[in-house]
Amino acid sequence: MDFTPLLPEIILSLSIVFYFIVGFFLRDRKSHSLFVCLISLLVLFSIPFSEGALFKGFFIADTLSQSLKFIFVITLLYVVIFSYDYSLVKDSLYFEYVILLMLSVLGMMFVVSSRELMSLFLAMEFMSLCLYLLAGIVFTDVRSNEAALKYFLLGSMASVFFLLGMAIIYGQTATTYYAQVMGFLEKMSGNQYYLVCGILALILALAFKAGLAPFHQWSPDVYEGAPTPITAFFSVAPKAAALGALMRLSLEALYPVKYLYQPVLILIALLTILIGNILALRQVNMKRLLAYSSIAHAGYVLLAIIAFKESGLKALLFYFWVYAFMNLGAFAVVLAHPKGEDLEEYRGFYKVNQFLAFTMLAFLFSLAGIPPFGGFVAKYLVFQSLVEAGLIWVAVIAIVFSIPSVYYYLRIGIKMFFIEREEIFYLTSNVQMKLIVILSVLGTILTGLWPYLVFLFF
């Protein structure tokens, strides 16, 4: 059997085992942890990803999965680096902290490569257990404990719904393999009400994992309570995994009955964009504002799934590439600011640090979808896929619902450049933080000016 398509998972698993064993013999765990993790991630970047199916077809390596795995690794690399000097992640916890991050990414890789419901469920639970622990990694912080508990309790309910949906689909089709489920649905005659209930239960569970409305209530509280590097990780990687799994489920298993659940997905997407943007207007905490922003952006990605087109798949992958750069870059600036969680502390930020102020402005413009940044191209591709699918009215409503986002993003820019502050403090960011911000702003600008560069990866 050719295990080449499984190379990313094999290399990451071996890295975790090696890292875990070596960690017991190191005194300075924190420095060596960063070194070992960076080496393993660089090895992952260097291997050529190949396509193919394994294990009787329930594992697949294709354009969708391999492109998202790149995004997972990039996100992990970012978070590991700018967690190094984060005060709440103590030196004694950094070793376990990095292991949990790597294990969660391993789970995400299996999530986007699963073509069978049982393996998808196991991969999601493996991923989720690591995320619950990461949310509460700072066990001396009450907010972190609260975030972990809320995430665990609500995540458990989502798992119950996924199991319910899987059981119903298996009861109706006698299989959990995507290809066989699609074959059954193509031959199905009459109304299968139980099957519709099973499909909706699966969508509900994946909508929770992606933070889609109206199953988004956990996101702001968890994002605010978790350590800021973990919040940055939550805002990109788990969403990409859940929406990637939903894309595969929609195209490879449920496509013959898309007319049954497409209206539900349209409603969820538009509701997610509206709620995320409206509730972000009243936020005074940057982490909560970026949490509601990430909810709205998940709604845009869901629109690409709704199109059920090849253009929708490309829009989804491009969106997450750009979103990883601009969102992680924004969180890097929040981390560099000593009081970055308070929105009012960004008054006069231009006089404090011009470099971070201008890069933050670029990230905000891109998040708002203003040209020539990558966020504009990402939204354009999403709306173009909707137009090609004949859903022009959905695209129009989504554009109207996007208008409030321009206000709350530009409000931060106005505070940074046009509102004076009485007290000016000096801010010196470390080398790795500057490197992350530079790479992020370059990625945000280049994907806007030359978007075809991203398509070279898939």
Q: Is residue 105 pLDDT above 90, yes or no? A: yes
Side chain identity at residue 32, one-letter code: H
The predicted model gives 432-439 an average pLDDT of 86
Phi-psi sector, 401: left (phi>0), alpha (psi -120 to 50), beta: alpha
Amino acid 360: pLDDT: 93
Q: With CA atoms as reference, report the closest residue to 430 among 374, 353, 377, 372.
A: 353
Amino acid 427: pLDDT: 65
- Cα distance between residue 72 and residue 233, in whole Å: 9
Least confident of 3-7, 108-112, 113-117, 345-349: 3-7
The two tokens of residue 188 are 């199905």
Identify the domain containing residue 365 by its residue range: 4-455
∠ CA(219), CA(225), CA(231), 5° rounding? 60
Q: Which residues pair with 59 in a beta bridge?
A: 54, 114
Counting Cα atoms < 13 Å in the Cβ hemisphere of 263 gives: 3
Q: Is residue 265 pLDDT above 90, yes or no? A: yes
The predicted model gives 377-402 an average pLDDT of 94
- Cα distance between residue 356 and residue 17, in whole Å: 38
Least confident of 302-306, 321-325, 418-422: 418-422
The predicted model gives 219-240 an average pLDDT of 89
Query: At 411, is the pLDDT very low, low, confident or very high (cuts 50, 70, 90)?
Result: very high
Q: Is residue 29 pLDDT above 70, yes or no? A: no
When computed from its CA atoms, the radius of gyration of the chain, rounded to whole angstroms, is 21
Q: Are 339 and 345 in contact (CB under 8 A)?
A: yes
pLDDT in tens, 41-70: 666 666 666 778 778 878 888 888 888 988
Query: At 340, is the pLDDT very low, low, confident or very high (cuts 50, 70, 90)?
Result: confident
Where is 218: in which H helix or E strand? Answer: helix 218-225
- The 8-class DSSP code of residue 124 comes to H
With tokens 């013999």, the residue in question is 25
Least confident of 23-27, 336-340, 365-369, 426-430: 426-430
Amino acid 434: pLDDT: 83
Give residues with Cβ within 8 angstroms of 275, minimum separation 6.
213, 214, 216, 292, 295, 296
- The 8-class DSSP code of residue 171 comes to H
Determine the angle formed by the axes of helices 91-113 and 117-135, rounding to 10 degrees.
160
Amino acid 365: pLDDT: 95
- The 8-class DSSP code of residue 373 comes to S
Q: Is residue 1 pLDDT above 70, yes or no? A: no
Amino acid 77: pLDDT: 85
The two tokens of residue 376 are 């504009």
Average pLDDT, the chain: 87
Number of domains composing the chain: 1
Give residues with Cβ within 8 angstroms of 62, minimum separation 6.
51
- Cα distance between residue 384 and residue 389, in whole Å: 9
pLDDT in tens, 160-202: 999 999 999 999 888 999 999 999 888 876 667 788 889 999 9
Q: With CA atoms as reference, report the closest residue to 235 among 437, 78, 405.
A: 78
Q: Which residues pair with 60 in a beta bridge?
A: 53
∠ CA(170), CA(172), CA(173), 5° rounding? 65
Q: Is residue 88 pLDDT above 60, yes or no? A: no
Determine how β-strand 59-61 pairs with β-strand 52-54. antiparallel
- Cα distance between residue 403 and residue 364, in whole Å: 14
Q: Is residue 37 pLDDT above 70, yes or no? A: no
pLDDT in tens, 354-381: 888 999 999 999 999 998 999 999 999 9
Buried (b) or exposed (e) across 110-122, using 16+ Cβ within 10 A? bbbbbbbbebbbe
